[in-house]
Amino acid sequence: MTTTTFDFTPLLPAGLPPAAARWNGRVKYDFTGGNNDPDALPLEGLIAAADAVLRREGRTLSTYGMDSGPQGYRALREFLVGKLKRDAAIGCSADDILITSGSLQALDLVNHTLLARGDTVIIEEDCYQGSINRLLRMGVTPIGIPLDRDGLRIDALANVLADLKSKGIRPKYIYTIPTVQNPTATILPPERRTALLKLAAEYGVPLFEDDCYADLIWSGERPPALYAMSERSDVIYIGSFSKTIAPALRVGYIVAPWAIMSRMLALKTDAGSGALEQMVLAEYCTAHFAKHVPVLRKSLRAKLVTLMESLREHFGAAAEFDDPQGGIFLWVKLPDGVDALKLFPLAQAAGIAINPGPEWSVNKARAQSRLRLCFANLSHEEISQGVAALADVCRRAFGFPA
């Protein structure tokens, strides 16, 4: 008997992304992705938390939203109220918080609540790839603002806002990662935050603050969040547990005024985010978050030092970078002759994964010879071996490092 195979192709709508490739496992030296440090994962604490919270209230898993309703597990939101006050100077209540399936769902909810095809938004020129891609997929135009060592350049933003206004364009939001910016790791100083809020108010543009790396500043001290500094309820704030506890847990959150929260909530038609992860995080974090994060930071800082030393050893002057004050990635400039998009497949073939600069910027030309190297998930040995291997690949292809 012959079996014919149904052809779905004629049924597909226009505008779908290309088909995904089969997954073939990870490469040996994976410097990509927001993966975290497995050794710093608080495993015993999470195991104890799972046991305690399941014994106490596990049967609530039989109900969508448990006893907490559609905004997510109440105890996790209560933890966040305290954490955001302590760390980011944010005053909010549990009712101002929506738990999401990672901050990626938060990005989607904000975007689908505010954006339509043809809209314009303002972002940092070098920017998280996932944010750029989401905008382009929605047919939204992101206007990039250049960064310097203190983050978003306010003078450039003022010019762009004035220019857009002269064209009759009101951007839907200004998206910023002001605290350990991705990929530059810059931290926007308080006076720039004040200036940013003032400009946003002047032009009637809300701010979209992505704060997912802010806990990972080596010093443990950070400027207040834009959300905390605003007096106009014009900031939508998102955060994540991916960078402080574990990315595979997929738990993020939005803090926003009810006027816009209620619209986002109407779009969250997933019957809630995963309850077990919320429960375990609430149980663990309420007791241990404040002690865990400094341990994680120390481990990450040590790996960053290994990465920077390895780059100096194997790339010498051919790799330029600033010493980041926090985070899990390094934004590296290679000599102008290096095309990161060409380096990418050559590195991949040698078992090394990198994020090519042009995928993390709306200024493709300026980012052409840049790389984003994530260091949290590799061991110290893998970092130094991986950098050495990358230097070999780069040298053979481009003549750098010498």
Question: DSSP label at 379?
Answer: -
Instruction: Decide whether 267 or 341 has the Cβ nearer to its own copies.
Output: 267
Instruction: Decide whether 134 or 370 has the Cβ nearer to its own copies.
Output: 134
Phi-psi sector, 136: left (phi>0), alpha (psi -120 to 50), beta: alpha
- The distance of Cα 217 from the centroid of its chain, to the nearest Å, equals 15
| Closest distance of CB 102 from its own copies, Å | 6
Instruction: Decide whether 37 or 87 has the Cβ nearer to its own copies.
Output: 37
- Two tokens at 121? 């938004």
Residue 394 in contact with residue 401, Cβ under 8 Å?
A: yes
> CB-based contacts of 348: which residues, under 8 Å, 6+ apart?
27
> CB-based contacts of 334: which residues, under 8 Å, 6+ apart?
315, 318, 319, 320, 340, 343, 369, 370, 371, 394, 398, 400
Instruction: Decide whether 179 or 242 has the Cβ nearer to its own copies.
Output: 242
Residue 221 in contact with residue 188, Cβ under 8 Å?
A: no
| Closest distance of CB 42 from its own copies, Å | 10
DSSP string over 44-73: HHHHHHHHHHHHHHGGGGGSTTTTT-TT--
Instruction: Decide whether 157 or 391 has the Cβ nearer to its own copies.
Output: 157
| Closest distance of CB 316 from its own copies, Å | 31
Phi-psi sector, 368: left (phi>0), alpha (psi -120 to 50), beta: alpha
Q: Where are the alpha helices (DSSP H) in 316-357?
A: 340-349
- Angstrom CA distances, 152 to 92, 119, 121, 333, 348, stand at 26, 21, 15, 19, 32
- Two tokens at 307? 């990465």
| Closest distance of CB 369 from its own copies, Å | 27
Instruction: Decide whether 59 or 149 has the Cβ nearer to its own copies.
Output: 59
| Closest distance of CB 57 from its own copies, Å | 10
Tell which residue, 152, 357, 155, has the closest CA to residue 144.
Answer: 152
Calpha distance 177→210 (Å, rounded) = 5
Calpha distance 35→294 (Å, rounded) = 18
Instruction: Decide whether 89 or 276 has the Cβ nearer to its own copies.
Output: 276
| Closest distance of CB 222 from its own copies, Å | 23
| Closest distance of CB 236 from its own copies, Å | 9
| Closest distance of CB 398 from its own copies, Å | 30
Instruction: Decide whether 106 or 319 has the Cβ nearer to its own copies.
Output: 106
Instruction: Decide whether 17 or 149 has the Cβ nearer to its own copies.
Output: 17
| Closest distance of CB 353 from its own copies, Å | 12
Calpha distance 49→172 (Å, rounded) = 41
Calpha distance 246→225 (Å, rounded) = 23
| Closest distance of CB 100 from its own copies, Å | 10
Instruction: Decide whether 19 or 365 has the Cβ nearer to its own copies.
Output: 19
Residue 337 in contact with residue 397, Cβ under 8 Å?
A: no
